[in-house]
């Protein structure tokens, strides 16, 4: 009978991946001891064979028989594991087919929730806990809404989700680590705690109030909330962070504009230096600090200010001199070989020249055109930062 070695190795590999870390360490230690014992036994036996000059040939047969029995036992063990795994998969498949997956107003909602690995599965919706919190928060809000549509109150829906999250956090270290990280980053409660129920509740509560700008349109942004910008910059997603910066400033500043401002009435789709003039200094500085933090001081408004001041000999009034504008463009990498870059040539990378980003806030050109910078906006930024 030909033993399928490749299949045995594959099954052994799959089996090892299903073991926990503690089990892997135990089996690894056992394996090392076993291999060392076999190695020493073989060496001793080989020396005996050499010295005995086949006088005790029965030892050879014993070794051969031992290896054969060990191999046969190993093969039978792997076959048994494979059979058991197939049976479990068939059983799970049948359960999934036969068991309803609806949420009912009555009954235990926890029975419909399962969290596996990097994913949280709730009523057929799979949430990857490795996503940005903004995406997880959106999905949690949608689940709360779904539960409310099924008869739950908002508080009951939050409690059900938080209870299951806490239970899984106690069983799975990765889920627990994520929950505590989210609590530390986004919860307004700074009190330290090791209670999974309390932390899960705060995470669900944070998800319901979490707000950021849409990826397509300007939407409501709560002043002082920069979670998404923080996440994008931390992930080194410079282009998305550049767009998010422009969105945040637009939305916050639009609320601060006077009621008689043309930008508030009929120039609603326009953006100019008037927005920067009314932007609360606290918001401007907070946005700037995030850029400085994640770029090690390479990007941000203050990085641009240093270059502007140096080129203008410390003056803020030289922004309207085209020679200074060109020098500034050359310095920060917005110009190359005497020409302004096209939008597609903006270098969204950490190795870009100092002051290269952010830029979208000041762009007055389309994506198919060369960059046209509104230096009036830069001038106001330099004055206020």
pLDDT in tens, 208-228: 765 433 333 333 343 446 888
Report d(CA 113, CA 164) in Å as an integer. Answer: 7
252-257 long-range contacts, CB within 8 A, separation 24+: 252/221, 252/223, 252/279, 252/280, 252/283, 253/278, 253/279, 255/223, 256/280
Can you tell me the mean pLDDT for 241-247?
A: 92
Q: Within 13 Å of residue 189, how many CA atoms lie on the same side as its CB?
A: 14
First to last CA, the chain: 80
Given a contact cutoff of 8 angstroms between Cβ atoms, the answer to whether 178 and 129 are in contact is: yes
In terms of pLDDT, which residue wins out, 362 or 53?
362
In terms of pLDDT, which residue wins out, 274 or 125?
274
CB count, 10 Å around CB of 381?
Answer: 23
**Which residues, 6+ apart, have CB-to-CB distance to 115 below 8 Å?**
121, 164, 165, 168, 172, 175
Predicted TM-score (pTM) of this structure? 0.45
The reported pLDDT for the residue numbered 78 is: 76
The string of pLDDT tens digits covering residues 137-168 is 777 877 887 788 788 888 888 888 888 888 87
115 DSSP β-pair partners: 120
Neighbour-count burial of 316, counting CB atoms closer than 10 A to its CB (0-12 exposed, 13-18 middle, 19+ buried): middle
The reported pLDDT for the residue numbered 31 is: 79
Burial pattern 43-65, b for ≥16 Cβ within 10 A else e, equals eeeeeebeeeeeeeeeeeeeeee
The reported pLDDT for the residue numbered 330 is: 95
Mean pLDDT for the chain overall: 75
């Amino acid at each position: 009978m030909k033993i399928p070695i490749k299949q045995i190795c594959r099954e052994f590999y799959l089996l090892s991946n299903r073991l926990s870390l503690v089990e892997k360490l135990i089996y690894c230690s056992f394996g090392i001891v076993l291999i060392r014992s076999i190695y020493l036994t073989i060496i001793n036996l080989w020396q005996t064979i050499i010295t005995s000059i086949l006088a005790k040939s029965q030892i050879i047969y014993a070794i051969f028989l031992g290896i054969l029995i060990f191999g046969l036992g190993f093969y039978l063990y792997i076959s048994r594991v494979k059979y058991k795994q197939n049976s479990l998969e068939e059983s799970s498949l049948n359960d999934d087919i036969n068991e309803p997956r609806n949420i009912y107003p009555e009954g235990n909602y926890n029975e419909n929730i399962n969290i596996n690995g990097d994913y949280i599965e709730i009523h057929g919706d799979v949430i990857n806990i490795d996503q940005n919190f903004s995406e997880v928060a959106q999905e949690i809000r949608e689940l709360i809404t779904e539960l409310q549509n099924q008869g739950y109150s908002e508080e009951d829906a939050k409690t059900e989700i938080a209870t299951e999250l806490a239970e899984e956090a106690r069983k799975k270290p990765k889920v627990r680590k994520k929950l505590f990280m989210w609590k530390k980053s986004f919860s307004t409660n700074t009190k330290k705690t090791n209670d999974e129920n309390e932390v899960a509740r705060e995470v669900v509560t944070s998800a319901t109030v979490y707000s950021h700008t849409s990826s397509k349109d300007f939407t409501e942004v709560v002043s002082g909330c920069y979670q998404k910008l923080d996440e994008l910059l931390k992930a080194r997603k410079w282009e998305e962070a550049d767009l998010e910066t422009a969105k945040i400033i637009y939305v916050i500043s639009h609320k601060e504009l006077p009621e008689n401002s043309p930008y508030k009435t009929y120039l609603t789709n326009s953006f100019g230096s008037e927005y920067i003039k009314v932007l609360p200094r606290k918001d401007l500085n907070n946005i700037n600090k995030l850029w400085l933090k994640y770029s090690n001081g390479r990007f941000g408004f203050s990085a641009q200010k240093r270059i502007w001041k140096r080129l203008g000999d410390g003056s803020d009034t030289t922004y309207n001199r085209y020679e200074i504008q060109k020098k500034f463009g050359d310095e920060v990498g917005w110009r190359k070989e005497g020409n302004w870059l096209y939008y597609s040539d903006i270098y969204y990378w950490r190795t870009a020249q100092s002051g290269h980003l952010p830029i979208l806030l000041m762009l007055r050109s389309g994506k198919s055109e060369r960059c046209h910078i509104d230096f009036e906006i830069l001038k106001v930024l330099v004055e206020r930062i």
